Amino acid sequence: MAKDLRAFLTQLEDRGQLRRIAAPVDPDLEIAEIANRLLLSGGPALLFENVKGSDMPVAINVLGTLERVCWAFGMEGPAELEAIGQKLALLYQPRPPKKFSQAVEMGKALFDVIKAKPDRDLFPPCHQIVVPGDQVDLTRLPLLRVYGGDAGKVITLGLMVTKDPESKIPNVGVYRLQLQSKNTLTVQWLSVRGPSRHLRKAAERGGKLEVAIALGVDPLLILAAATPLPVDLSEWLFAGLYSGQGVHLAKCKTVDLAVPAQSEIVLEGTITPGEIGVDGPAGDHIGYYGPVREDAPLIRIHTLTQRKQPIYMTAFSGRPPKEDAMMALALNRIYTPILRLQVPEIQDFFLPMEGLSYKAAVISIDKAYPGQARRAALAFWTALPQFTYTKFVIVVDKAINIRDPRQVMWAVTSKVDPARDVFILPENPFDRLDFATAKPGLGSRMGIDATTKVYPETDRPWNDELRPDPETAALVDRRWAEYGLADLALDDVNPNLFGYDIH
């Protein structure tokens, strides 16, 4: 498994999944246009080696396919990701073991936690070059402007580290940062996120909030920062659980925070409560420009440290497919065991990329009683903080392949009576970036019961579904080559024929 960005890029290149671009390119719009075309086609990661206005190469589309996201986890396919989720589920809501085998599993999980404890690196690569405050010039970094209507250049894949002023527990997250000057940035985050709480506590104490931003890290650390964790479980510890060994951290030069020792670039600074800037508009994952925010927290960068000849890694948001959507598909598999722990009746769930990765969910249940689908939808919305902003939940029977949109749409259109099976919850806290809501930050949710109805949900008998005759199906299986169709696999379905990607 790769331990830093450079090792992962080498792995991609060895597997034919990295293309080096020597031609001069502009970080203003051009790089994003090139990368977006390859994202749409499932193309390779890119390393631009000749970027105008900077001496740093730019890596992009690094996590642009589900396959590459799995490689970042040290795995070959998405099916293996549920094992990570099962381990996390034990830590998320531990229960006393009832059997010896459960005790063994809990013991293994706790031993993994011990192995995952972060280490400190006394001579970290990220400190090879130290740039003091009066020499910091963020315009030297090859920051991208992605869309023509964007207000400025942005940082998108930086790991932002802050610390709770009371508990001293660090929070690691990924937030969009907009360049304001050679040493200032504004940040966009939701009010429920950890740094927002930290800033409020710092304001109550009359102090500043220390911030560190690590750029160009092992992609595994970005995935760990995007995973739903219990409040008391550090993202560093969880990244160690992913990789099987502790993350190497380095103490920052001017703030009391730690960052990955192998980071390519580290920005150290502070936020003074009440000091704000104008942020946006900027292209957002919803597919529209996000609104201008006139009260965005302002970060003043006091020190920059970096490796020799650093690589700048970035990504950008927009209508799927984008890198954040690919990461969400992988995290979907990790969420599943956690969700089953919270809501045992849920068999499986899926957040389609086309549903903006979290706005629409499909869940399957083993239906046993009337009203169960509605109960499952309500439980889903409260199971994890990440599902608070899920707008639509479709509940289907366990026999439906929830990752096949044809089966899901068949269930919706054949099993749903809108007056009976659709329910709406108004006036819920919501994502302010969702322009569909009548009021900013306040919207409704819709549940759709697409399960087979049972009494007293309906008095009307439900006829049997159409299925092939099993004896005839077996006969055709045996004679398939005899028909001259051996070159066509029995289970081959061309998803593009229907406009879907079901894999």
pLDDT at position 244 over 80: no
Question: Which of 96-110, 194-208, 233-247: highest mean pLDDT?
Answer: 194-208
Neighbouring-strand partners of residue 212: 161, 268
The answer to whether residue 92 scores a pLDDT higher than 90 is no
The answer, as to whether pTM is greater than 0.85, is no
From CA 154, how far away is CA 145, in angstroms rounded? 6
Q: How far apart are CA 365 and CA 367, in angstroms?
A: 6
Question: For 482-490, what is the mean pLDDT?
Answer: 80
pLDDT band at 252 (very low <50, low <70, confident <90, very high): very high
Q: Which residue in 284, 324, 421, 431 is the catalytic one?
A: 284
Region of 15 please: left (phi>0), alpha (psi -120 to 50) or beta.
alpha
Residue 242 and residue 287 in contact, taking contact as beta carbons nearer than 8 Å: no
Query: Residue 200, Cα to own-chain centre: how many angstroms?
Result: 26
DSSP 208: P
How far is it, in rounded angstroms, from Cα 421 to Cα 411? 12
Q: How far apart are the first and last CA of the chain?
A: 25
pLDDT higher than 60, residue 111: no
**Residues of the chain above pLDDT 70, percent:** 88
3-state secondary structure of 352: coil
Predicted confidence (pLDDT) per residue in 417-464, tens digit: 999 999 999 988 877 777 788 888 888 999 999 999 999 999 888 888
Over residues 19-33, the mean pLDDT reads 96
**What tens digit of pLDDT does each residue of 349-384 get?**
899 988 877 889 999 999 999 999 999 999 999 887
pLDDT number for residue 229? 60
Q: Which two tokens stand for residue 466?
A: 């159409």
Q: Is 218 a catalytic residue?
A: no
Token output for 300: 């003043």
Residue 386 has pLDDT above 50, yes or no: yes
Q: What is the pLDDT of residue 499?
A: 38
Mean pLDDT across the chain, nearest whole number? 86
Is 60 exceeded by the pLDDT of residue 73?
A: yes
418 membership: H or E segment, kind and range: helix 418-421
The 10s digit of each residue's pLDDT in 156-171 is: 999 999 999 998 888 8
| Mutual angle of helices 323-342 and 81-92, in 10-degree steps | 50
Give the type of residue at 481: A
pLDDT grade, residue 30 (50/70/90)? very high
Query: DSSP secondary structure string, 95-125?
Result: ---SSHHHHHHHHHHHHHHHHT--EE-SS-G
Of 364, 108, 76, 73, nearest to 227 by C-alpha is 73
* Lookup result for tokens 């229907």: 498
* Ranges of H-type helices in 205-266: 219-225, 235-243
What are the structural domains, with CATH classification, of the chain? 5-313 (2.30.110.10), 323-450 (3.40.1670.10)
